[in-house]
Structure 1
Amino acid sequence: MTTTTAIGYENNLPTNDPASLIERTIDVPALGAHDLLVEVRAVSVNPVDVKLRAGAHAGGFRVLGFDAAGIVREVGDAVTLFAPGDEVFYAGSIDRPGTNQRLHGVDERIVGRKPRSLSFADAAALPLTAITAWETLFDRFALTPDDTGTLLVIGATGGVGSVMLQLAEALLPGVTVIATASDPERAAWVRELGAEHTVDHHGDLAAQVLSLAPGGVDWLFTAHSEGQIGLYSQIVRPFGQITAIDDGPRDIAPLKAKSITWHWKLMFTRPLHQTPDLIEQHRLLDTVAGLVDDSRLRTTTTRTLTPINAATLREAHELVETGRTLGKIVLHDGN
């Protein structure tokens, strides 16, 4: 087979326009030495997909998608981690065509074995958010099982927050987790995933947080940092740390008086820059798969759409654009 089907965009259009995401026949990707050719069985939609479709120049026809679960069909000459027939899950790289295609090329060093206990659909919900949550907790914050303190997760009901709560519950027994949730349904969701306390970000967040952590929180994760630096300077303790995954503010001067550390987090940094520790994403995803199969971590799928086509992807993009999704939206072809 020399061609495959892909879904992408040519122009930045709203989701109610049928041309916002369209189907095309493209060439099957040529494999590099460390590449896998994966038959994609399920994908999920992340805010980065929506952001790029709405505002990034396509440069012709751009295929989106940063989560996939599927089956390895071919391997490059230097591949050692996988073989044809292996079931895998991964988040890809922002500098290569995305996963919204039937046959997808990806570097083996950012791929993990699919959790045996999950369907392709439920596995596809996890890679991007699990990598982001893991690298925030264990690379940016450098937390260990011996650490104690308080972690505030802002945007806790989204994909990344929903995994971060579980990782903290499973691997950081001394860390107390406060999660934001705006209604009883979302409060129940985050408590079920491991949060000890919930706060409503629509209320007086500083007062709520400081009533639970009077000296301020030790670590703050945020998916929504723009315009919030004054607030964060109130609720993070001296020498505390913040990690943001959005484009965020440009003026973080209010944090200086408390010597608060600001981290940026982009889960594509390793594959984008081919860092020497690139294989850490493979190891991370294998660890996540083990936690799932040991019933210490669960999928965050809350809605599934089928089949994978332009219409269902437009529907998923529209839902994610609301900013009100709980967990992850997954598309699959009946698996």
Structure 2
Amino acid sequence: MQALTYQNAHELTDFALDLQELPVPTLRDSDLLIRVRAFAVNPGDTVIRRFRSAAPGQTVTLGWEFAGIVEQVGPLTTGFQVGDEVYGAGDLSRDGNYADYVAVDYRVVAHKPSTLSFPEAAALPMSFQTAWGALLRSDNQLPAGVNTVLVLGGAGGIGSIAVQLLKAHTSAVVIATASRPESKRWVEAMGADVVLDHSQDLATQLTQGGIEKVDMVLATRSSASHLAAMPQLLKAYGHLALLDAHQSLDVSGLTPYSISVHLENVFARVLTNQHPEQQGLILRKLTQLVEAGKIRSTLQKTLPGLTSENIRTAHELVEKSEMIGKIVLELESVR
């Protein structure tokens, strides 16, 4: 098979992902072999590229969000058969899906929505699972007493799906941030009740909108830079969900307000082997919501073909942190 790989961690200026011929992955007993039809490029991919190097004589294959077709099933798998159209987010400890084929545990994938194309479906799994884990608690509901939620970075991949999830699955008032006219229009289309400009003072904008403080904040990126403002945005005993744990993250300023802090890692269930089947269950819920017309794909840009040029373009766009929605590479439909 063909895969986009590299050996040494590097910056974008020294971009080194090249197309290489590799063996098709060998399956574990609980694996599916999936022929990749489309995959999304995420900020985490660019971070790993900058910091993870391969062992001597090996390569790194990035990418952990895909849609494709089941080509082979392991002896311990259930619920899938050859030819099924599936989607999912894989296992960070294994080779990724910047490739023709990927092997994944059957418990972390689901049948893709019949109403979506492969690129549209590939844009959703990781974002939805991340938003679900960050926002919802016991019984898959918001924490008790949460009636207003502020999503920082509402136009990005996770922010876009978080807004939709909140509107489809809860009764909370959803406030999201965006600064450019096009990103504001996008967040409004996702269903946000209120859109704030994150280039301006957020607390002032909340007050002007008749909202003193919110019950919960989801910070989708640059969490460390938002912490100082949290006491002005969050009610005492509120909830702060973070998606990035910067080494300088200092939450001591939240202590006087008894604010709960949740750090979400979409791969935690798989990496710790703590109920990885929950990943598949969450995706099945996503499929239901999509097919019911309550969640739409956040795909914004599709690049055709598994090429070094396309993956570099995707990484450049993601690293600018200006992407609205998700960017996806679509592989050829016939091999």
TM-score normalised by structure 1 residue count = 0.94
In the alignment, which residue of structure 1 is the partner of 2:204? 207
Cα drift, residue 183 of structure 1:
1.7
The answer to whether structure 1 residue 221 and structure 2 residue 218 are counterparts is yes
In the alignment, which residue of structure 1 is the partner of 2:48? 52
CA distance in 2, matches of 1:46, 1:196: 26
Q: Aligned letter for 1:13?
A: H
Q: How does 1:20-99 map to 2 (within 5 A)?
A: 20-59=16-55, 60-99=58-97
**Partners of 2:155 and 2:178 within 8 A in 1:** yes
In the alignment, which residue of structure 1 is the partner of 2:321? 323
In the alignment, which residue of structure 2 is the partner of 1:274? 273
DSSP 3-state at the match of 1:74: strand
DSSP 3-state at the match of 1:27: coil
**Partners of 2:146 and 2:215 within 8 A in 1:** no
In the alignment, which residue of structure 2 is the partner of 1:265? 264
Q: Aligned letter for 2:174?
A: V
Deviations 1:38-66 (A, max 9, x none): 00000010000011112222334100001
DSSP 3-state at the match of 1:44: strand
In the alignment, which residue of structure 2 is the partner of 1:138? 136
CA distance in 2, matches of 1:210, 1:250: 27
Cα drift, residue 140 of structure 1:
8.0
CA distance in 2, matches of 1:256, 1:72: 49
Q: Aligned letter for 1:34?
A: S
In the alignment, which residue of structure 1 is the partner of 2:253? 254
CA distance in 1, matches of 2:279, 2:236: 32
CA distance in 2, matches of 1:145, 1:297: 22
CA-based RMSD of the aligned residues comes to: 1.8
Cα drift, residue 215 of structure 1:
3.7
Classify 1:220/1:300 alpha carbon distance in 2 versus 1 (closer, same or farther; 3 Å). same
Q: How does 1:122-201 map to 2 (within 5 A)?
A: 122-139=120-137, 143-144=141-142, 149-173=147-171, 175-201=172-198
Cα drift, residue 23 of structure 1:
1.5
**Partners of 2:304 and 2:329 within 8 A in 1:** yes
Classify 1:141/1:310 alpha carbon distance in 2 versus 1 (closer, same or farther; 3 Å). farther
CA distance in 2, matches of 1:241, 1:194: 22
CA distance in 2, matches of 1:251, 1:137: 21
DSSP 3-state at the match of 1:198: strand
Q: Which runs of 5+ in 1 are unaligned?
A: none
Classify 1:140/1:65 alpha carbon distance in 2 versus 1 (closer, same or farther; 3 Å). farther
| Count of residues in Structure 1 that have an aligned counterpart in Structure 2 | 329
**Partners of 1:146 and 1:172 within 8 A in 2:** no
Q: Aligned letter for 2:322?
A: R
DSSP 3-state at the match of 1:266: coil
DSSP 3-state at the match of 1:330: strand
The farther-off stretch of 186-195 and 227-236 is 227-236
In the alignment, which residue of structure 2 is the partner of 1:288? 286
Classify 1:187/1:211 alpha carbon distance in 2 versus 1 (closer, same or farther; 3 Å). same
The farther-off stretch of 232-241 and 139-148 is 139-148
Q: Aligned letter for 2:59?
A: F
**Partners of 2:218 and 2:240 within 8 A in 1:** yes
Task: Give me the identity figure in percent.
Answer: 36
CA distance in 2, matches of 1:70, 1:262: 36
Classify 1:245/1:144 alpha carbon distance in 2 versus 1 (closer, same or farther; 3 Å). closer
CA distance in 2, matches of 1:172, 1:116: 24
DSSP 3-state at the match of 1:232: helix
The answer to whether structure 1 residue 9 and structure 2 residue 9 are counterparts is no
CA distance in 1, matches of 2:126, 2:278: 14
CA distance in 2, matches of 1:213, 1:237: 15
Cα drift, residue 310 of structure 1:
1.8
**Partners of 1:13 and 1:54 within 8 A in 2:** yes
The farther-off stretch of 70-79 and 220-229 is 220-229
Deviations 1:226-273 (A, max 9, x none): 132220122100000000001234321110111000110000001111
Q: How does 1:290-309 map to 2 (within 5 A)?
A: 290-309=288-307
The farther-off stretch of 156-165 and 8-17 is 8-17
